[in-house]
Amino acid sequence: MNRTPRILGSLAALATTAVLAACTTGGVQGTTSGSTSKSTATALAANVTVEQARASNATPDAADTSWSESGATVITLNGTSATVSGSGATASGSTVTITAGGTYVLSGTFEGQVIVNSASSDEVKLVLKGATITSSTGAAIAITDAGEAVVVLADGTTNSLTDAKTYADTTSEDAPNAALFSMADLTIGGGGSLTVTGQYNDGIASKDGLVISGGTITVKAADDGIRGKDHIAITAGTISVDAGGDALKSDNTKDADSGFVDISGGTIILAAGTKAGDGIDAQNDIIVSDGKLTVTQSYEGIEALNIVIGGGTIEVTSSDDGLNVSAGKDSTTTTNNAQGGPGGGAGDAVIDGTASISGGTLILHSNGDGFDSNGTASISGGTVIVDQVGGGNGALDVNGAFTITGGTLIAVGSSSMPVAPATSSAQGWVMAAVSGQGGSKIQVLSGTTVLAEFTATREFGNIVYSGTGISSGQQYSVTVNGTATTVTANVATAGGMGGSMGGGQAGGQPGGQAGGQAQGGRPGGGTRP
């Protein structure tokens, strides 16, 4: 038997277990409508690049994290009191108040609160140099006013922030609600470490933008772990989050160029609440171009109106959808009366959002849908692996046009609602209604040449594979533990959906390919399941 190099060695080496509930079922007629939109979210076209996605967003303001002790104000923390050497800050009992721009070096242990209330044009740089701050009244650090705030983790130091379990002000719109809270643009960097414990609500929160450019940051939060209203941009660092709600969140619903999470480096490990928390939740865009991102636990893994991946390594475990393109809660959707064909799925509303994969490695372990887009989807490069289990869901679920022009796709999942790329895709694909258990060896062959082989992790009833060597209309064999099934490239299995040229309606015909067209969505369309 001839062999080509393995595309993947084993799903078993990559997979973890997930738990969950169904979101969508096929085979019925459907009508979907939404509520009045408040969002100005910008829809991106299919096959959008990382660069194009970034060009549609505001540029994150990453402040300089370099500093010098010369000329800095030194704040020495000592239990319930503090001493200040220099200008711009005062200490009164268990409160340190900073009222001017400049560099402030904090060290020691403090049972109290640091408040920054400077002019809206000031840059305030807080250097944590072996600082432990625990507040019993509210946020450990509350930046209530400044032009720009910078938190520097001094090289080689260990620092920690812990807030109170209850806050005095829980109703005001701009009241602090996190252990590290900022009303201004916030940059965190440096070579030290920071442990943040958000007992009341969030761990780190900025009402503006948030940039992380370095440091080792560990966050545990009752609700959201790290929240940047306008954006979260991560360029470097090691970040671990254990959150009761969303691990990373950006939720600006008013500005089309905001509400995004952009990851271009770093090592990020996220655990979110399994009942309602997402690994990453963004109102508009999630963009990943480099770095290593692992979502160890979540309800939905990564969720946004647009998800654009051009590099890096991403592995997601979710109790619902692994990747989900959907509109925010304040957005609207179109009405789609599309009817599924015999054996096919319902025609769901198509929103103006997209999942675009051009590089990197994306691994999804889900018990809901694995790779789910309520808009369009495209794969032009990289490797996408979907490991899905759970009835009423599928490894792939795309409401609109779903094209593949390059890269590698391996989707192993349930037989409940099988979906494949569009029949017109430039790169061929095969779909096979084959079943097996965890440990089953799966091969895709052209004659006697093995194009791909991998080992299933969990029970499955359908696979979709796309990669080099697959040509539309040609026949291939898919084997499970040596038992072969003959399939034709770019033809869906009986009851399967082979994608849509225009999106939306995809009614599968028994034993044949599916297709159909439907109305596209409006900007910001589609409510999240």
pLDDT tens digit string along 125-161?
Answer: 999 999 999 999 999 999 999 999 999 999 999 999 9
pLDDT attached to residue 432: 97
User: In the predicted model, what is the mean pLDDT of residues 22-45?
Assistant: 40
Residue 525 predicted with pLDDT over 60: no
pLDDT attached to residue 391: 83
Band (390; pLDDT cuts 50, 70, 90): confident
User: In the predicted model, what is the mean pLDDT of residues 503-528?
Assistant: 33
Band (500; pLDDT cuts 50, 70, 90): very low
Predicted structure pTM score: 0.87
Residue 321 predicted with pLDDT over 50: yes
What is the Cα–Cα distance from 238 to 454, expressed in whole angstroms? 31
What is the Cα–Cα distance from 335 to 70, expressed in whole angstroms? 63
Q: Please provide the average confidence, as pLDDT, over all residues in the chain.
A: 85
What is the Cα–Cα distance from 238 to 227, expressed in whole angstroms? 17
Residue 228 predicted with pLDDT over 90: yes
pLDDT attached to residue 11: 52
C-alpha distance across the termini of the chain, in Å: 47
pLDDT attached to residue 498: 58
User: In the predicted model, what is the mean pLDDT of residues 169-188?
Assistant: 95
Residue 201 predicted with pLDDT over 80: yes
Residue 195 predicted with pLDDT over 70: yes
pLDDT digits (tens, 9 = 90+) for 234-270: 999 999 999 999 999 999 999 999 999 999 999 999 9
Residue 38 predicted with pLDDT over 50: no
* CB-based contacts of 9, cutoff 8 Å, min separation 6: 454
- Sign, CA dihedral 168-171-175-179, equals positive
For residue 110, list its beta bridge partners. Answer: 79, 133
Least confident of 26-35, 210-219, 222-231, 368-377: 26-35
Region of 171 (left: φ > 0; alpha: ψ -120 to 50; beta: rest) is alpha
Q: What is the DSSP string of 224-264?
A: -SEEESSEEEE-S-EEEEEESS-SEEE---S-TT-SEEEE-
Phi, psi of 120 (to 5 degrees): -70, -5
* CB-based contacts of 155, cutoff 8 Å, min separation 6: 190, 191, 192
What is the Cα–Cα distance from 497 to 431, expressed in whole angstroms? 10
Residue 330 predicted with pLDDT over 70: no
